[in-house]
Amino acid sequence: MTEKRIRLRKREPLSDTQMLMFISIGIFCAMYIGAMLTLGGGFLKPQQIFDLLNDNAALIIISCALTIVMIGGGINISVGGVIGLTVMACALFLNGNSIENSALSIVLTLLLALGIGLGFGLLQGFLVAHLEIQPFIVTLAGMFLARGLTTILSVNPVKVTHEGFLELVKTKLTIPWLGYTAQNGNLIPAKIEIGALVALAVVILMFLQLRYTKLGRSIYAVGGNRQSALMLGINVRSTVFWSYVISGVLSGLAGFVFLMHKPAGNASVAIRSEMDAIAASIIGGTLLTGGVGNVIGTFFGAMILSTIQKIIALSPLNASWWQEMANGAMLSFFILLQSVVLMRKNRARAKKRKEIKEKEKKKDES
C-alpha cells in the first residue's frame, strides 16, 4: 500500500466549526427525544417539527444573516428593526396599491422588502468597511433608524387586506404520508408554509456560499485573522462590506416571510428578535470573535430556542421567566464551550509557533 493511500485512510480531526455544529445538533436531538418521551402529545407527530419551522422561519433567516456577519468578526443588531420596517412598509403597500394583477403586486412587495434590506446593508456595510466605524455603533443606529421609520409610516397596527396576498398566506405544502389520524378517524396531513421552505432554502444557499465560494472563504479568513487575510491578498474591506449587504438583504427577506406568517404590521413587530438571532448563532457554534461558524449549526440553534419555548409552554413551568432562564442557561453553556474552543485554538497556535522556531533553530545550527 502506497504512502498516499495511507494518508487518505487517516481521518482528519474535526474542525472547531464542525465540532460546535455537531454539539448543537446532538443537543437538539436529545432535547426533542426527551420531550417526546416525557411530554408526548404533539411532539410525537411530525407536524410539531413543521410547526417549529413555520413559526420561526423569519428567525432562522435573520440568524443566518447574523452568522455571516459574526463569522467575519462583526455584529448586526439592526436585523429586528429592518424586519419591523419591512413588515409595515409591505403591509401599507399591499393595502394601498391599485395594481389589478395580484401576482405583480406580490412580486413588487417582495422587491420592496429586498430593497429596504439592501439599502440598510449598503449603508451599514459602507460605514463599517470603508469608514471603519465600530459595527455595534453603526447597527445600533440602524436599529433606531428602522424603528423610527416604522413609527413614521404608521403608529397604529396595519392588517393586510390584499386578497391575493392572503391567498398566498393560506397556501401550504401538504404531506399526507407524514400526517396523523385524528380521533374521528380522519387523516390530517402534515403542512408546511411557504415561508418555512424559503427559510430552508436560505440555510442551504448560505451554507454553499460560505463553503464553496471565494467570498465565503474570505469571510472566514477575515474573521479568523485580518492581518493574515491581508497578507494572503484578500480584500478585507470588500469582504466586510458584502457580508453586511448579504445580511441586510436577508433581513428584508425575513420581513417578507414574517408578513406571510402573520399578515399584519405594527410598531412592535420583531422586538428583541435580534437578541434571539444572536443567541441562535452562538448556540449554533458561531464564535463571537469570528472565524468559526456554520449556518447549519445556526439553524439547529434556532430550533433549540423554539423547542425550549414549546417545552416550557406545555410543562407546568409555563411562566415567561422560565423560558428566559432556560435560554440564558443554554446560551451560557455555549459561551463557556466557546471559551474552551478558543483555549484549544490558542494552545494549538502556540504549539505550532514553537515547532516553527525549533525547526528554524535547527537550520541555523546546521
199 close to 53: Cβ distance less than 8 angstroms: yes
Give the integer Cα–Cα distance in Å for 287 and 205. Answer: 21
For residue 180, pLDDT over 50 is answered with yes
The mean pLDDT of 262-276, rounded to a whole number, is 89
Please give the pLDDT value at position 13: 65
Helix/strand/coil (H/E/C) assignment for every residue in 269-306: CCCCHHHHHHHHHHHCCCCCCCCCCCHHHHHHHHHHHH
Amino acid at 155: V
The mean pLDDT of 211-216, rounded to a whole number, is 93
Please give the pLDDT value at position 112: 97
261 close to 55: Cβ distance less than 8 angstroms: yes
Cell of 74: 462583526
Cell of 40: 408526548
The pLDDT tens digits of the residues spanning 96-127 come to 887 888 899 999 999 999 999 999 999 999 99
295 close to 203: Cβ distance less than 8 angstroms: yes
Give the integer Cα–Cα distance in Å for 229 and 299. Answer: 28
Please give the pLDDT value at position 344: 73
For residue 47, pLDDT over 90 is answered with no
Please give the pLDDT value at position 223: 92
Question: What is the dotted CATH code of the domain comprising 46-312+322-339?
Answer: 1.10.3470
The C-alpha angle with vertex 191 and arms to 159 and 114, in degrees rounded to 5, equals 50
Please give the pLDDT value at position 314: 77
Contacts of 24 (CB under 8 A, 6+ apart): 283, 284, 285, 297, 300, 301, 304, 334
The pLDDT tens digits of the residues spanning 15-35 come to 777 888 888 899 899 988 988
For residue 2, pLDDT over 80 is answered with no
Please give the pLDDT value at position 341: 72
Contacts of 169 (CB under 8 A, 6+ apart): 260, 261, 263
**pLDDT grade for 329, boundaries at 50, 70 and 90:** confident
The pLDDT tens digits of the residues spanning 133-179 come to 999 999 999 999 999 999 999 989 999 999 999 999 999 988 877 77
pLDDT > 70: percent of the chain = 92
Please give the pLDDT value at position 325: 81
The pLDDT tens digits of the residues spanning 288-318 come to 888 888 999 999 999 999 988 888 877 776 6
